[in-house]
Amino acid sequence: MNIIIEHKTYDFDLRKILPKELCKRTSKGWKTEFLGYSNYNQNITFILPKTFDEYEFLDFLNESRIFTDFELSWPVTVYKVLKKYAKKNQDQTQLYFTNTHEIISSFNVKSDYTLIDTIFNLLNVHKNNPYIYFKEYEYNKKSNKKQSWKKTIKKEFPLIENDSIIYPETINNNSIISFEDLLLKIYYSTLHKISVDLNINIELNENIPIVKNHQMKIFEKKILKILKQIKGNYFSDLHKKIHYFLTQYYNFFGTNSNKKLNNEFLLTSNFELIFEDMVDELISDMESVKLLKYHNDGKVLDHIYYDSSILPGLNQYNSFYIGDSKYYTDVNDLHKSTKSIFKQYTYALNVLNQCINPEKNSPISKFLVDKKLLLVDKKNRSYHPIVNFFILPNNNDSLISIIEQTNSPIYNFSYHYRERAFDRSTHVILYFKINLQKLLNLYLGIGNVNEKRKKIKKFIRESAVAQYKELYKFKKIHPINTKKIKEKDGLLFSYNGVNILCQNKTYNRNIQHESGEVRHPKRAYQYSRKTRCSNFNG
């Protein structure tokens, strides 16, 4: 088995283990821009995402890495993720090599089994029934102790006393299942072969009869014929299942099998789309996606959901959170990408535009009311902040939590009027890294998905609160003295009796009060003695 990484350069000619269409020669060696699974000329190769840089090139003769649980290993996890995505997006899966589609596959992902799938099935039978051989052996011993009255009557002479018939000697049953049963012999010999070929740790008792090494190479040439001959000898569901999976497995190598089965693949050159789908399935809510994912200008938002307002005085209400998945290994490359950043600003404006004046009784209108979503304070001509963020993969094994902010937290801050936190042109974009390994497992339903979803959303909200507190000072005022406040646009947000005033902490422009007096920003707004002010804790 081979394990390589997409976009990584190797001095080994990859055409020996991969179809030539997947390989690209560079001045430094060979690389592939695809990731996934390939079985080319009986060379099983897994290509991992570029974030898995801790894996070294591993060929099938190298036993330095042993998988204790093959089905839960990262190469297999990536394969299962691709297969799930391909099933969800069947129309985007093509059966030939091309860069124009999200997934390329040599088989029908919904109905066909690959060699790897068949190996999973064989391993699962052993995992769920580790003592088949010994149960059969015990059954054999008990069966030998039982009398066979049919054979006794046929071969022995009875004693007749009055009306009683007595047989002095009885004949026992012959073995119903031999401890050297052919099916189990083939099954355990196959498990041993798989463990050697794929460096998998499969616990097999030393007392189980197993054909190994050179003898196995001779034996496996006859296995398909033997399986066909003994097919009618088994009646239990377990034996039938073992027989079926063994037949599938050896059909991949048999002379009568379809040659196309010998070369199979499930690959993608667009893992960023799979990464996006994994994040979207984890954090987006379907109602918001249905209404606001697709914008009127043709743009498509990656992720959107609603959660508690980042303004503590209004945290019983909700606001929108929008995100964009980026399959980058270096956050600095994204931070310098003005195109991605400005697209993210546009997404926020599009969400506002589609929600500001919805038609009465329209789905969006009902959704905003039902979910208590805060967007616009028309009286003060102010807008509630929309939390905006990028999310990147992180493959750090030492990362205990599923999500974290980037090192030395990076953010984008765009504004028309710096002092106005509630202006529609004021945008703050945060940057997060999500643990890719944990994300892969959650996508497959491994782990508590709902718990992780809550933790992620809580972390994003708390990070947004902290960032806004760093940029602005918020005050809750009771009540508003409108005569004393000349400017309210983007500075004051009011809803249901809660009034929040903002002031940028780094803003140095003097503000002209209504009286004509020029004051320092910290004293720009004066309230009557009846007006009570209180500082926020984010």
DSSP sequence for 474-523: EEEEES--GGG-S--TTTEEEETTEEEEEEETT----EE-TTS-EE-GGG
- Using alpha carbons, list the distances in angstroms from residue 299 to 276, 345, 350, 394, 464: 15, 12, 9, 27, 25
Express as a percent the part of the chain with pLDDT over 90.
33
pLDDT on residue 522? 38
CA-CA-CA-CA torsion sign (13, 18, 21, 24): negative
Domain assignment present for residue 372? The answer is: yes
Same domain assignment for residues 185 and 218: yes
- 61 pLDDT more than 90: no
Comparing 258 with 84, the larger pLDDT belongs to 84
Domain assignment present for residue 484? The answer is: no
Domain assignment present for residue 434? The answer is: yes
Mean pLDDT of 185-205: 87
Q: Which of 406, 313, 443, 375 is nearest to 49 (CA)?
A: 443
Opening angle at CA 170, ends 164 and 172, nearest 5 = 145
Q: Which of 269, 301, 335 is the last residue of a domain?
A: 269
Which range among 164-178, 304-318, 360-374 shows the weakest confidence by mean pLDDT? 164-178
The most confident of the ranges 167-171, 254-258, 315-319 is 315-319
512, two tokens: 């002209």
Q: Which of 427, 449, 470 is the last residue of a domain?
A: 470
Q: What is the dihedral of CA 511, 517, 518, 522, to 10 degrees?
A: -60
Contact criterion met (CB below 8 Å) for 442 and 282: yes
Q: How many domains does the chain have?
A: 2
Domain assignment present for residue 450? The answer is: yes
Residue type for position 151: K
- Using alpha carbons, list the distances in angstroms from residue 131 to 112, 126, 136, 159: 30, 8, 9, 44
Where would I find the H helices in 305-410? 331-335, 338-356, 363-370
Same domain assignment for residues 288 and 264: no
pLDDT on residue 392? 92
pLDDT on residue 175? 42
Contact criterion met (CB below 8 Å) for 408 and 455: no
83, two tokens: 């297969």
Same domain assignment for residues 161 and 279: no
Mean pLDDT of 531-537: 37
Same domain assignment for residues 48 and 156: yes
Mean pLDDT of 450-460: 94
CA gap 260, 228 in Å, rounded? 22
CA-CA-CA-CA torsion sign (171, 176, 182, 187): negative
Same domain assignment for residues 236 and 304: no
Q: Tell me, what DSSP letter sits at residue 68?
A: S
Contact criterion met (CB below 8 Å) for 7 and 33: yes
- Using alpha carbons, list the distances in angstroms from residue 265 to 4, 41, 55, 81, 93: 15, 11, 21, 14, 12
Comparing 194 with 333, the larger pLDDT belongs to 194
Tell me the β-bridge partners of 476.
500, 534
Same domain assignment for residues 387 and 306: yes
Contact criterion met (CB below 8 Å) for 244 and 214: no
Q: Which of 407, 435, 470 is the last residue of a domain?
A: 470
- Using alpha carbons, list the distances in angstroms from residue 454 to 231, 430, 433, 449, 458: 52, 18, 16, 9, 6
- The angle that helices 237-251 and 223-230 make with each other, rounded to 10 degrees, is 150
* pLDDT, tens only, 67-86: 666 777 888 899 999 999 98
Phi/psi of residue 139, nearest 5 degrees: -60, -40
Mean pLDDT of 138-157: 59
Same domain assignment for residues 133 and 69: yes
Domain assignment present for residue 496? The answer is: no
pLDDT on residue 67? 61
Domain assignment present for residue 308? The answer is: yes
Which range among 33-42, 135-144, 233-242, 436-445 shows the weakest confidence by mean pLDDT? 135-144
Same domain assignment for residues 259 and 327: no
State how far Cα 121 lies from the chain centre: 22
Same domain assignment for residues 368 and 326: yes
Q: Which of 182, 191, 173, 190 is nearest to 136 (CA)?
A: 182
pLDDT on residue 75? 87
pLDDT on residue 92? 58
Same domain assignment for residues 344 and 329: yes
- 509 pLDDT more than 50: no
Query: Containing domain of residue 199, as a range?
Result: 1-269
- 199 pLDDT more than 90: no
Question: What secondary structure, in 3-state letters, does 199-225 show?
Answer: CECCCCCCCCCCCCHHHHHHHCCCHHH
Same domain assignment for residues 255 and 399: no
Q: What is the dihedral of CA 519, 522, 525, 531, to 10 degrees?
A: -140
Say if strands 492-495 and 264-268 run parallel, antiparallel, or are unpaired.
unpaired
Mean pLDDT of 312-324: 92
Q: Which of 513, 424, 416, 411 is nearest to 471 (CA)?
A: 411
CA gap 454, 442 in Å, rounded? 13
- 484 pLDDT more than 50: yes
* pLDDT, tens only, 360-388: 889 999 999 999 999 999 888 899 999 99
Mean pLDDT of 115-143: 74
pLDDT on residue 327? 92
Which stretch of DSSP H or E encloses residue 288? helix 286-292
pLDDT on residue 325? 95
Same domain assignment for residues 350 and 228: no
Considering the chain, what is the average pLDDT of its residues? 79
* pLDDT, tens only, 404-442: 887 666 788 888 888 888 988 899 999 999 999 899 999
Q: Which of 327, 294, 326, 291 is nearest to 306 (CA)?
A: 291
CA atoms within 13 A on the CB side of 198: 27
- 58 pLDDT more than 80: no
The most confident of the ranges 160-174, 247-261, 346-360 is 346-360
Count of CB atoms within 10 A of residue 474's CB?
21
Domain assignment present for residue 479? The answer is: no
Domain assignment present for residue 332? The answer is: yes
Mean pLDDT of 332-351: 88
- Using alpha carbons, list the distances in angstroms from residue 354 to 292, 293, 295, 318: 8, 11, 8, 17
421, two tokens: 């936190």
333, two tokens: 């490359």
Instruction: Please indicate, yes or no, whether the overall pTM of this predicted structure exceeds 0.85.
Output: no
- 349 pLDDT more than 60: yes
